[in-house]
Amino acid sequence: MIIVEKYGGTSVGDVDRIKNVARRVKKSYDEGHKMVVIVSARSGVTNELIARAKAITPHPDEREMDTLMTCGEQETIALTALALQSMGVPAISRTGPRAGFKTDGNHMRARIQDITGGDIPELLEEGKVVVVAGFQGLSPDGEVTTMGRGGSDLSAIALAKGVNADLCRINTDVDGVYTADPRIVPDARKLNEIHYEEMLELASAGSKVMQSRAVEFASKYNVPFEVRSSFNENPGTIVKEEVASMEDILVNGVAVDKNQTRIGVSHLPDRPGAAAKVFNALAEAGVLVDMIVQNVGREGSANITFTVPKDDTYKAESALTEALKDFDGATAQTIGDIAKVSVVGLGMRSHSGVAAKLFDALAKASINIEMITTSEIKISVAISLEQADEAVRVAHAAFDLG
């Protein structure tokens, strides 16, 4: 069968790990499978490249950043192909653009528009193992683009769809999806399977296992995939549409995102379109706004508080300065970094009382809630960074996840 599998930056972190990846791929290849391997940049490389760019200019041009950052995976595909060849496996590398990843022109956060797979189907027919650079694509203008951090997961799932793979494996540095981060909660449990939507909420809630866009894509095109470890042969967690007896479980996991900044906008006129103008400006600047709280103040003006990814703070501030010019007296202020703790479970759809139970548990631990957002299967609270780990442990215990 056709297997598309992805190895992240930690899994290809040095020459020995690359050889380890090659051995694992060879095993599947020797079993008769047609293998496509998506790799990331070696861990640390992307950060080194960014650090070099920032040593030159604090806010580097995003087009040039994409040209810079794609070096990372380009190195890994070549080294991985060489490692496979040295084991007698006929491997060939492909950059993202050549593997047919067509994206929009939004540099550093490009969205996949089409994935043709390039000449990968022919190469697989010829018996080749194809090693593909994750994270990269080609814009309509012929510019190389990157899909943002964690884009390799998206590359893998999109390519699994693009080449009609029978199986997609996301190999990573964890054994699978856990009820919480085991480094924070010692008695966290590995889940055997999980629904796309739960995985999605966990990802958007800051669980570092996978990027949410990758899971969205998998859900939209119904691409089941397995999250498992690069370093052992243990079964991982299957993420898919049909999950057995999940309705009975109220909460399936607790996630935390420590990478958000809270921004407040004060004295915005309380009239239709004012808030829209603010969030349109942020959207146009490519800033992903997460939690939003609005309340009407005195004298007909509104205050809005929202969170953005920490890295987008500067972009958000610039966009706001521009957008608020039209509103006399309206001001934006970066309040500071916060943590978002979320409980996630399909079971919430049919059960009430989850929010109450969570708030009660946090209150008993003297943890103050700054903001609250909810979805059908998730409740998130913004709290201070210092209390984040304690909040995760408290929630994990409150829902008997251990």
List contacts with a second copy (CB under 8 A). Answer: 15, 18-19, 49, 52-53, 55-57, 60-61, 63-65, 67-68, 70-72, 74-75, 77-79, 81-83, 85-86, 92-93, 95, 98, 142
Dist CA 9 CA 152 (whole Å): 9
Q: Residue 32 or 58: which CB sits closer to a second copy?
A: 58
Q: Residue 26 or 378: which CB sits closer to a second copy?
A: 26
Q: Residue 69 or 339: which CB sits closer to a second copy?
A: 69
Give the DSSP H/E element, type plus range, for residue 61.
none
Minimum distance from residue 307 beta carbon to a second copy (Å): 29
Contact 39, 80 (CB under 8 A): yes
Give the number of other CB atoms < 10 A from CB of residue 227: 25
Query: In this structure, what are the phi and psi dihedrals at residue 302, rounded to the nearest 5 degrees?
Result: -115, 150
Structure tokens, 47: 């950060």
Minimum distance from residue 14 beta carbon to a second copy (Å): 9
Dist CA 196 CA 193 (whole Å): 10
Minimum distance from residue 84 beta carbon to a second copy (Å): 10
Q: Residue 14 or 241: which CB sits closer to a second copy?
A: 14
Minimum distance from residue 319 beta carbon to a second copy (Å): 20
Instruction: Specify which residues 337 forms β-bridges with.
Output: 261
Minimum distance from residue 142 beta carbon to a second copy (Å): 7
Contact 229, 174 (CB under 8 A): yes
Q: Residue 49 or 397: which CB sits closer to a second copy?
A: 49
Structure tokens, 389: 């780990």
Structure tokens, 105: 């022109």
Structure tokens, 329: 């007296």
Q: Residue 88 or 186: which CB sits closer to a second copy?
A: 88
Structure tokens, 12: 């290809």
Collapsed DSSP state (helix, strand, coil) of residue 255: strand
Minimum distance from residue 55 beta carbon to a second copy (Å): 5
Instruction: Specify which residues 91 forms β-bridges with.
Output: 129
